[in-house]
Amino acid sequence: MEKQVSFRLGKLEKQTSVRGVMEKHSSFRGERHMEKQQSFRGGGMEKQKSFRGLMEKQKSFRIAMERQLSFGGERKKSKESPGKRGDSPLHLAARGGNLLKVIDILQRFDANAIRDWLSKKNQEGETALYVAAENGHALVVEEFLKHLDLQTASIAANNGYDPFHVAAKQGQLDVLKVLLQSFPNLVMTTDASNSTALHTAAAQGHIDVVNLLLDADSNLAKIARNNGKTVLHTAARMGHLEVAKSLLSKDPSIGFRADLKGQTALHMAVKGKNVEIVQELIKPDPSVLCLEDSKGNTPLHIATRKGCIQIVSCLVSIDGINVNAVNKAGETPLDIAVKFGTPELVAVLKEAGACNGKPPTAAKQLKQTVSDIKHDVESQIQQTRQTGFRVKKIVKRIKKLHISGLNNAINSATVVAVLIATVAFAAIFTVPGQYVEVNTPGNSLGEAHIAKDPAFIIFFLFDSLALFISLAVVVVQTSVVVIEEKAKKQLMFVINKLMWLACVSISIAFISLTYVVVGAHERWLAVYATVIGSSIMLTTIGSMCYCVVRHRLEESKMRSIRRSETPRSVSMSSDPELYNEKYKRMYAV
């Protein structure tokens, strides 16, 4: 059998390679003919471009041929790339269902190396067998199982699912059959919550998978999770009618199994809106209607509390039901309907003969009041914790955005500093009037013709100031590594003010040269540039100063509020990050 497979693979690869050579030869001749025409028209430079184009086409052709060797044709790029999962080549081949590539990879190693490869996990804890089972590639799974033992085949991923469980979750029936054929004991594996693959399949409503697992071992229906819930509890709560029928046909007695809260599958079913599944659970034995949970609630109590009129009508229509059952709180279903339900629900119960329970004694009433208060307090504490957790997540997200904004501002300052330094450096060597090229009395070689002009002196002073301030910012940015947020804000504050000074200096240097460039007859142009430049720069810097001062005053006010708060209020919001910053879309530093 292995010889036949290898012979077919060799034959297929040879056919593919022959086709590739013919296509490559044909395309090469066509491209060569076109490139000759283009090079004849364009000369030597066009020949080089054509040769580069040919090399790039040959490279892309080789890549395309490698991708076409996969079984089943081309695959999406997402399946070929490891991405963030850290998939190995074997993971990629298994994820895409590429049986030929899987066989090719496995044939390169001995038995021990193959076992190591099949035990290797990606960043999500998934083995190659896991990804093949998840995606329903039964042939790949069958090939893997030839080299695996039970322990390796049941390696779980980070999500707690092993290959058998994830195949059951995804409804991969063929994969499950292959796994059961090799390792029947996989059917009894459980996760951290003691859930079997039957629990997983029942929760998803995969009836074919449920039937397969029950045929493999009907005792699976009796296994309960850590919370005491059986598979029937899960199917009843999710409203999967066919799954419930299949489970009850194997063992009708599981309808009487209760979880840690004392609730049966019928208690779970009446919480939903599927009347048919309620009727199916009652069929084997209507006495299940009388079972109470740990608080004394019958299924009718639960259904009344949920307020589903269809479910309540179905329950009260069954012969032998006690519509006046009293729970441990002394409440009948009618009491609950009056307290939480609608007038229509009350009418349905009264029509069935329901009545109110006896008025509770003072002791019971006090006990119930204390219980209600305790329940309300616990609920509020839980909500407070959840709110605090959400607030912390929001604060963390805002802080991350805040730090990202600071980093962007610092990086932008570096770019601007380099730009100003470049402009300032180049400006000194491109002054109007150029330089002295011949030694003459009173002038030095290389001296600017306008060196003695007051406007040039002002330009030189402020241009030098802008240049060296920008260089200082670049040196600081490339030398200092800041981690703490407060220190980063201080660094940004200093750099920001230095950049203000550099921008003002380069503006003054530009304006001073305008008085030289426009000449004495067009001096009004230089005055115009002075007015425009001064107005824009002063307005901009003035606005920024106002924003900085306002932000500092608000920070000071927030600090004063924090100091004046009582210790109790501080303890209620103990996380200091909640007071770090008042959230703003932007602010100036």
Q: Helices 173-182 and 138-145 meet at what angle, rounded to 10?
A: 10
Q: Could you tell me which of 2, 74, 64 has the C-alpha nearest to residue 27?
A: 64
Q: How confident is the model at residue 404, as a pLDDT?
A: 82
Residue 187: inside a domain: no
For residues 298-322, give the mean pLDDT.
91
Residue 171: inside a domain: no
Q: What angle do CA 526, 532, 534 make, to 5 degrees?
A: 95
In our burial notation (b when 16+ CB lie closer than 10 A, e otherwise), range 313-342 reads bbbbeeeebebbbbbebbbbbbbbbbeebe
Residue 62: inside a domain: yes
In a 13 Å sphere around the CA of 396, the CA atoms on its Cβ side amount to: 7
pLDDT exceeds cutoff 70 at 124 = yes
Distance (Å, whole) CA 158 – CA 176: 21
Look up tokens 């306008």; give the residue: 450
The residue ranking higher by pLDDT, 583 or 234, is: 234
Give the model confidence (pLDDT) of 44-100 as tens digits.
344 344 434 434 544 444 444 444 434 344 344 444 445 567 888 999 999 999 999
- Whether residue 101 contacts residue 71, with contact meaning beta carbons closer than 8 Å, is answered with yes
The residue ranking higher by pLDDT, 216 or 368, is: 216
The residue ranking higher by pLDDT, 224 or 49, is: 224
Please provide the size of the chain in residues. 589
Q: Helices 111-119 and 99-106 meet at what angle, rounded to 10?
A: 130
For residues 168-187, give the mean pLDDT.
94
Among the candidates 22, 37, 68, a domain finishes at 68
Give the model confidence (pLDDT) of 499-541 as tens digits.
999 999 999 989 988 888 887 788 888 899 999 989 999 999 8
Residue 80: inside a domain: no
The residue ranking higher by pLDDT, 579 or 306, is: 306
Q: Tokens at residue 20, please?
A: 């590739």
Q: How confident is the model at residue 580, as a pLDDT?
A: 45
Per-residue pLDDT band at 375 (split at 50, 70, 90): confident
- Whether residue 291 contacts residue 264, with contact meaning beta carbons closer than 8 Å, is answered with yes
In whole numbers, what is the pLDDT of the chain averaged over residues?
A: 80
Residue 559: inside a domain: yes
Residue 26: inside a domain: yes
Q: How confident is the model at residue 448, as a pLDDT?
A: 66
For residues 372-395, give the mean pLDDT.
88
Among the candidates 12, 42, 68, a domain finishes at 68
Residue 521: inside a domain: yes
Number of domains the chain is built from? 2
Q: What angle do CA 53, 57, 58 make, to 5 degrees?
A: 120
Residue 231: inside a domain: no
- Name residue 285's amino acid: D
- Whether residue 202 contacts residue 240, with contact meaning beta carbons closer than 8 Å, is answered with yes
Per-residue pLDDT band at 256 (split at 50, 70, 90): very high
Q: How confident is the model at residue 440, as a pLDDT?
A: 65
Range of the domain at 56: 2-68
Q: How confident is the model at residue 435, as a pLDDT?
A: 59
pTM, two decimal places: 0.54
By CB neighbour count within 10 A (0-12 exposed, 13-18 middle, 19+ buried), where does 505 fall?
buried
Among the candidates 18, 41, 68, a domain finishes at 68
